[in-house]
Homo-oligomer: A and B are copies of this chain.
Amino acid sequence: MYAGGTVITAPGTFNPRDPSPFSAPAGQMLHVDHVYAQYKIPAGRKQALPLVMWHGCLSPSWETTPDGREGFESIFLRRGWKTYVIDWPRTGRSGKSSVGATITPGFSENAAWNAWRLGVWPNFFPGSQFPHDPASLDHFFREGGTNNGPSDNDVSVNAVSALFDKIGPGVMMTHSASGLLGFLTAIKNPKVKGVYAYEPNEGVFPTGEVPAPIPNAAGGLMSFHEVSRADFKKLTRIPIQIIFGDYIPSKPDPTNIARDQWRVRLQGVRLFVRTVNKHGGNATLVHLPEIGIHGNSHFSFTDKNNIQIANLESAWLHRHRLDVPKEGR
């Protein structure tokens, strides 16, 4: 299904006699900036709330793993959850955009190997849970790359919020680049009843409590997203859990700039969690190595131990009673 988006119309009057009617814009419509959701409803007993899965930079990562095992879409379907896997607005199957784009093939996969903590190119980290075989790597590097227009926070949040309006209350799952937008969608729409974020790029902070920017090893600064105090308060009314994997450096690493970002992002998210809880919220940060789960890349939910990772999420969903109808919550 689709949700959200707008309709724009070119000035003039449509002329069906035009010899090139597809390239004569006058008076014609264009539907754009929506979100596409691939949804599956399990047979039999169902958990109460649907899970809305918003991918990060790599688009089909909820559906399957690089080595072809079942992804979280199927794992959670089997556990009775209704799933909605969305294509980020203006990417993939949500491609129609109100704003154009120039696409240039970008050679960046070695940086991705480092950034997403498979290892230090071309080697894997010892103990890595990422599948190592060539076929898995080939799959992995074919993911993503589907932008049809510039990413725009408002466009994305509006479309995904419209999806919640269409399907009703649900749980937002995000990964990486969709992390911030998942929190912003939860602020916008009270139908978001919980947020489960895998390595979110950043959290948000209330006016007056925005931390100082954190320097990264590339010589830049990571600054933080500010929202009003009233908006921030909304995030204290829903449960939030955040998962980070292994191999995140504890101090600046100028030898591997792509990876260093996670040191800074993890610091920022720790501050976010602390701020949510200070305001009476219920946010938890699980840094997997700290609970004895080692070897995870940026994609713990597709790594070889992804069932173990899914079990953590199932336990959280159950603990917060997101699996039972509202009357029981």
A16-B258, A36-B60, A106-B30 known; A145+B96 contact, CB < 8 A: yes
| Size bracket of the A interface | 35 or more
Report the separation of the CA atoms of residues A106 and B93 in the bound assembly, to the nearest whole angstrom: 17
Number of copies: 2
Interface assignment of A29: CB less than 8 Å from any CB of chain B: yes
Q: Are A25 and B106 within 8 A (Cβ)?
A: yes
Question: Hey, which chain B residues are within 8 Å of A219, CB to CB?
Answer: 19
Query: Residue A30 contacts which of B28, B31, B96, B107 (CB distance < 8 angstroms)?
Result: B107
Q: Are B102 and A102 within 8 A (Cβ)?
A: yes
Q: Are B1 and A103 within 8 A (Cβ)?
A: no
Q: Are A22 and B108 within 8 A (Cβ)?
A: yes
Interface assignment of A101: CB less than 8 Å from any CB of chain B: yes
Nearest B residue (CB) for A97:
B105
Q: A101-141: contact bitstring with B at CB < 8 Å (1 yes, 0 no)?
A: 11111111111101100001100000000000000001101
Q: Are A19 and B105 within 8 A (Cβ)?
A: no
28 contacts between A and B (CB under 8 A): A1-B64, A1-B139, A2-B139, A2-B142, A5-B142, A7-B138, A7-B141, A8-B107, A10-B107, A16-B120, A16-B257, A17-B255, A17-B256, A17-B257, A20-B218, A20-B257, A22-B112, A23-B108, A24-B111, A31-B109, A32-B105, A36-B60, A93-B146, A97-B145, A98-B105, A103-B148, A146-B148, A148-B148
